Structure 1
Amino acid sequence: MLTVGLLGAGRIALVHATAITAHPESKLVAVSDYLPENAQKLAAQFGAEARSTEEIIADPAIDAVLIATPTNTHSDLIEAATRAGKAVLCEKPVDLSLDRARACLANVGESQQPVMIGFNRRFDPNFAALKGALDAGEIGKSEILAITSYDPAPPPIEYIKVSGGLFRDMMIHDFDMANFIMGGPPVTVSAVGTCLVDPAIGEAGDVDTAAVTLTYADGRIAVIRNTRRAGYGDQRVEVQGSEGMLQVGNLGENLMVKSTAAGVVSAKPVLFFLERYMPAYAAEWGAFVAAATSGEAMPVTLEDGVAALAMAEAATKSAQTGQPVNLADI
């Protein structure tokens, strides 16, 4: 039984607490948060104890920690937990600073403790099926990848101000998905971003609508599109290969289709990513538990987290300068 401490008690921590307690081989024993009352509430809901982060990390009876705290704390907590001999699953991104993330990677390497970064979309059953079919050669060699990730509404401005920006906060999932599907990072990153949804987002120094083109050494192309305003929600992936196409469309709230003389109507897509990817979060946790208890390599590594953050850094620079950025220069 893997004993687990959960660092953070916000919205995403609730998702992770659900996955931890649902798994037959893990037990949530402690929760911390910078607001003690939040930790107490979440701990009580799942039969755990509210404790301080320092107590959880120092407790030798706790095997692993899941980090669901603000991004600017991630690297410090990863390092502290691995020094204490714990396995770590940390929410993305590794850090707001690429240099700090790289330092974290070097420091964790010295401890040799397992760390997994929470790119849960790799574990979505539909995306995993697409990756499996591609790797099996069912459409030949991939040539062009299109990823669409549209959120139904932007987060609060207070979150925007500390998130690191759309490329580091939102599109970073898509950067990792591109690396996952295409088998590695691109050579160049070209990005455009604008503020169309809420002027306050622009005033906070961020964009809310963006498109990125990735080019690879062998000539392949990937295109990623994000917006923080799509009232229906939109999460799709399409890969065109030398012998055909693989597609994963939106998941509907139900499968019913009504056809009448007035037209054909189906349910709208599952609205928000938390609902859309709940099976992925559960599968992600299952993969972490399996690796942590068997000693096998983590399926999503700290190196993967740093690679996606480097792409986010390149996209931010490209959007600011209007010029393509060589990833090697980042």
Structure 2
Amino acid sequence: MAFLVLKIDVDTLEGTYKGVPNLVQILRKAGAGATFLFSLGPDHTGWALRRVFQRGFLKKVSYTSVLKHYGIKTLSYGILLPGPDIGAHAASQMCAARDSGFEVGIHAWDHVYWQDNVRTRERRWTIAQMEKSYSRFVDIFGEEPRTHGAAGWKMNECAFYQLDAWKIRYASDGRGHSPYRLILNGLPLNHVQLPTTLPTLDEALQLNGLHTHNIVNYLLSLTQDDRVDNVFTLHAELEGRKFAPILEQLLAGWRAQGHILVSMADYYTTLNLGLLPSHPIEWGKVSGRVGRLIIQPTKC
């Protein structure tokens, strides 16, 4: 049997308020483990509309129906409305997920601000953003974070070093095919990267011929080999709301294929750490995603 790791990115206040409780119910009903990664500071989702000028963004908007899934209020945060503080308004929903038995970790302080800036920012900016999220996490959960998953799958060298400084043992900050350690300045880091291996729903829906009625079969076709572990990233704003029926079908399909649905923490305990490969930081394109992301080098 193979492991199917469920990693949940929570980007917005609305996703935390409504998507997270829905996902908790769906996952508990399915007997699935999962890791919730929270955006802990201001919700500036509206700033993302600036990407309308980036090649490929309008195509993504047309397929994922951003307005329908996020709502006009959320898309106004940072533009027409001040960005609400997610951690200050939705701490109870975050704690309820943890108290229901799910792993919790850090996604970002300000999701859009991090995603749009981190690749080119210096150490001071990077550490300031990360320390804000760390402090808020401790305030909310009363414990130090054990894992991290970068907003937009974007990081920089200082951010990776900071994960080691926090004594994070495993994180999921990029895209790839299998667990590995990063090499910086010729030396491997201590923490293990568990990259997202499967396309997200919004990415897959941009492929020709795929729609909500056949997307489940497509994703299940990618996980037919029950000897191969995978990490699937879902979003509280999508699978926790309009795409909830699709998620329920996926969970049932993965169970039928023989996969064990687990959190990042559970998966990490199964790894033989001494046999993991090491790779340098690499940036690349992912089909259906705008911009360049942290990627793992392709298998030989």
Whether TM exceeds 0.5 here: the answer is no
TM-score, structure 2 normalization: 0.36
Which has a greater percent of strand?
A: 1
Structure of larger gyration radius: 1
Structure number with higher relative contact order (C-alpha < 8 Å, ≥ 6 residues apart): 2
